Amino acid sequence: MTYDLLIRNGTIVDGLGGEPYVGDVAVRDGVIAAVGAVNGSGTREIDATGLLVTPGFVDLHTHYDGQAIWSDRLNPSSAHGVTTVVMGNCGVGFAPCRHDDHDVLVDVMAGVEDIPGVVMTDGLPWSWETFPQYLDALDAGRRDIDVAAYLPHSPLRVYVMGERGANREPATAEDLAKMRALAKEAIEAGALGFASSQLATHRTDHGQQIPSYQAADDELLEIARGIADGGGGLIQFVPDLPAGGYQPVLQQVFDAAADAGLPVTFTLIAMNAGDPTWPDAVTMIEKANANGTEVTAQVFPRPIGLMIGLELTANPFVLYPSYQEIAGLPLAERVAQMRKPEVRERILADKPGGEPANPIIYMAQAFDWIFPLGEDANYEPDPANSIAARAKARGVSPLEEAYDRLLDDDGHAILLGALANFEGGSLDTVGALIRRDESCWAWATAARTTE
């Protein structure tokens, strides 16, 4: 038998939970026709010996809302086996949007996802106003992989309420009715569902809370009802940090989903230290699912936190006036300055000169949980290799150790801030959560920040 494509001798991981095995994959008319020991030949054949052969991955949590408009390649995802991406996550995006609010939504996306505003300002044609028109703009383009989009909460709120929405004022009954109608319209046009965020560290590029933060129960409920009016869809939700347990930060969206008869997916994290909060979330999921609501937790399969470096937004010295004096220099010149003993001494003796737009920048000094990443990235680093532990072994301060490690590789070095999902200094808890039936691995947050 002849096939259009025959992939031979690959290590097949079929996604069904079984052990990988060596075999063939045959394709005819764009459809997988046979898997395993395949007899026959292919018009095109690929020898996959020593390589993995998998189904295309669906990346459930990305921020390609802009890149999907201006680019025909959704890399880095499309270069790593992803064949479908979902965007609009965290309730941020670019539709619906009136002309006068373009800068507002750019400011929100730049702050939440650390995408330079100039990239979006230069790249977005803004040939749409409504969410259906945004989907039409997506349809008009060609891409290397497929996309799906949520209706994002912050743009919806600003579109309906204008400056009141951006300033997080309470929605009126008239506002809620408009949000419900627009949610229905979005679903009928092809939206996957609705996405929102209540995470306190989701800030605009200017440091304000994003429009959806602390939106009232009735607002989420009316939007959920609009999703149901349009035929149904998925609610994606980012809760606030569960300092007092998950119940206070999840019950709102669970209730809205149950009322509207919609499934919900949310980001679940495990804190590194202190009393675990994730068992509270698991109990809530089990109870909700037993009562007929379909709830799935999205679990990031590696530590959550910061990438720290001299070429990145965060490093331990970004708020220090002595560092800010040289921060605008090209990297090579900055590194040369930082290697001067007098500059080193001045920066290490300095203190923050102001507050960051996003308080998460302070975590760039959480040295117990910060590690050199290295060329062969290790996302489950030995706690003995933390900046704090390395500093103690050297007999220097953690700031000194961090300073020296940032200068490695001529300033190209990256430090991993493993600020959550690293309970007890390992990924064991994350692995256990991912293997639960009501969980899935996701939350790649993929997007190109430059073009």
> What's the pLDDT score for residue 357?
82
In the chain, list all ranges with CATH 2.30.40.10.
Answer: 2-55
Q: Which residues of 268-287 are buried (b: 16+ CB within 10 A; e: fewer)?
A: bbbbbeeeebbebbbebbee
Q: Which CATH class is domain 2-55?
A: mainly beta
Please report the pLDDT score of residue 447 as a whole number.
Answer: 66
3-state DSSP call for residue 196? strand
Do 134 and 182 form a contact (C-beta atoms < 8 A)?
A: no
- Say what the pLDDT of residue 451 is: 45
Give the C-alpha distances (Å, rounded to integers) separating 110 from 3, 51, 451: 47, 37, 15
Condensed to tens digits (0 to 9), the pLDDT of residues 135-182 reads: 999 999 999 999 999 999 999 999 999 999 999 999 999 999 999 999
CATH 3.40.640.10 at 58-302+431-446, yes or no: no
Sign (positive/negative) of CA torsion 53, 56, 57, 63? positive
pLDDT digits (tens, 9 = 90+) for 278-320: 999 999 999 999 999 999 999 999 999 899 999 999 999 999 9
User: Is residue 342 very low, low, confident or very high in pLDDT (cuts 50, 70, 90)?
Assistant: very high
Angle between helix 247-260 and 278-290 (nearest 10): 20
C-alpha span between 182 and 232 (Å, rounded): 13
Read off the pTM: 0.90
Confidence of residue 444 (pLDDT cuts 50, 70, 90): low
Beta carbons of 346 and 423 less than 8 angstroms apart = no
Q: What is the pLDDT of residues 75-107, one digit of tens each?
A: 999 998 899 999 999 999 999 999 999 999 999
Question: What tokens does 358 get?
Answer: 């996003």
Least confidently predicted of 204-213, 247-256, 435-444: 435-444
User: Residue 341 corresponds to which amino acid?
Assistant: P
Question: pLDDT per residue over 253-272, tens digit each?
Answer: 999 999 999 999 999 999 99
> Which of helix, strand or coil describes residue 193?
strand
Residue ranges, comma separated, of all CATH 3.20.20.140 domains in the chain are: 58-302+431-446
